[in-house]
Amino acid sequence: MGFFKLKQNGTDVKTEFTAGFTTFLTMMYIVPVNAIIMSKTGMDFGALITATALITIFATVLNGLWANTPIAMSVGMGLNAYFTFGLVLGMKIPWQTALGIVFVSGILFLVLSFTKFRVWVMKSVPVDLRRAISAGIGAFIAFIGLKEMGMVVANPAVLVGLGDFSDPKVLLGVVGLVVTFALFSWRVKGAFILSIFVTSGVAIAFGLASLPKEFISMPASIAPIAMQLDIGSALTLSLLPVIITFLITDMFDSIGTLTGVGLRAGMFKDDESKELQKTLEADAAATVAGTLLGVSTTTSFIESASGVEEGGRTGLTAVFTGLFFLLTMFMMPLFKEIPANAIYPILVMVGILMFTELGNINFKDTAVATGSFFMVIMMPLTYSITNGLAFGFLSYLLIKLLKRETEDINTGLIALAAISMVAFLVH
């Protein structure tokens, strides 16, 4: 195993195997969760199960071999929700065009990952606004989760209101939330996937779901969604802000995740480290490959930290994690019987975890406070990450100009603000 430099990293095959299995358990939930979310667009559920498993295997093993880091990758939570509820259901964009948008953003990310652009963007956007982006996406996907569970409903008088808690399906969602909170708070390994199965068990017991007639089957074909992306329709001025949104959100999401995991593993000493560069290259390549298979943006998963805690230090951990995902390709009958309200509590919990980034923001700076506020509040209110980013960047820049704090303004921020203006002008 000299390829992975196990001895130099103070680890061995057994440790890497255990770490890989731990990471697999903690992020296995992404296969049924992503399939349920993206199937709302009309895409085939079975094909999504297979495609999600395939891209997770491809991306994670690629990263292990290319970057030699213990980082697992899969379809990103947040952007998959934006793909479904923001673009397809909200903006009425065909899912084929939405895949084209992700493809273009992935190509841009891939090209730029081989340049100094990443470092330039990182230095251009204040760290507090980057944290606000994460918190805003957290608020957005948590809101989607609550809405899909029926806990929050439309109300003509006040826009939104409380759902009907006498509805058994809504109560199932409440049970799912309690179970998810409990397992996560107790730091149970695989808390999310366990929560899904426990909540599904409750649903079966009360007649809200059926027991699977079989538990394994051959993988479903990806033919209904593979190679269906429409790139031509994505290349319009009106969709440019959306493409940029996917690009910078994936970039910040990945870098934020890698920074957190890197601190625990002693990797990525600085923004220009070789390991960080190669991991981002694998991330970008996987996003492009994912659109060909029929899924939205691929990104690095913070759940990789669980494997690092178990001692995983090299790409062998990622290779083992990816190979374990082969199992999920044969679990379609099991995933198919999972009720939606056993899934959406996970979306809420992930949103909460992303929302905690607010605690690290310096709200004493008026521009930061205003920009962060608009990012966080406008993403769920307008059902759009793009709109949230636009309001945030423009308000930050405006206040900096009004206060004549021009030393905090750079060409990167001006460019992002200009793109944000396009989002409003061509809306």
**pLDDT tens digit sequence for 383-426:** 999 899 999 999 999 999 999 999 999 988 898 888 888 777 76
Q: What confidence category does residue 75 fall into, taking pLDDT thresholds of 50, 70 and 90?
A: very high
Confidence of residue 248 (pLDDT cuts 50, 70, 90): confident
pLDDT exceeds cutoff 90 at 296? yes
- Long-range contacts at 5-11 (CB < 8 A, ≥ 24 apart): 5/68, 5/314, 6/314, 6/316, 9/313, 9/314, 10/313, 11/311, 11/312, 11/313, 11/314
pLDDT at position 426: 64
Counting Cα atoms < 13 Å in the Cβ hemisphere of 147 gives 16
259 pLDDT above the threshold of 90: no
Mean pLDDT of the 132-157 span = 94
Residues near 188 by beta carbon (within 8 Å), at least 6 away in sequence: 194
Q: Across all residues in the chain, what is the average pLDDT?
A: 92
Whose structure tokens read 């995991």? 261
Both tokens assigned to 81 = 């929700």
The structure tokens listed for 269 are 């000493």
Q: Which residue has the higher pLDDT, 19 or 420?
A: 19
Q: Average of pLDDT values for 141-145?
A: 95
pLDDT given at position 91:
93
Average pLDDT for 330-338: 94
Domain residue extents for the chain:
11-425
Per-residue pLDDT band for 265 (boundaries 50, 70, 90) equals low
- For residue 300, what is the DSSP state? E
pLDDT digit string, tens, across residues 173-206? 999 999 999 999 999 988 999 999 999 999 999 9
Q: How far apart are CA 152 and CA 142, in angstroms?
A: 11
Burial tier of 158 (Cβ tally within 10 Å: 0-12, 13-18, 19+): exposed
Name the pLDDT band for 269 (thresholds 50, 70, 90).
Answer: low
Look at residue 195 in the predicted model and tell me its pLDDT. Answer: 96
Q: Which of 5-9, 50-54, 358-362, 400-404 is least confident? A: 5-9
Per residue in 222-244, pLDDT tens?
999 999 999 999 999 889 999 99
Asked if 314 and 6 count as a contact pair (C-beta separation under 8 A), the reply is yes
When mean pLDDT is compared across 84-98, 269-283, 296-310, 377-391, the lowest value belongs to: 269-283
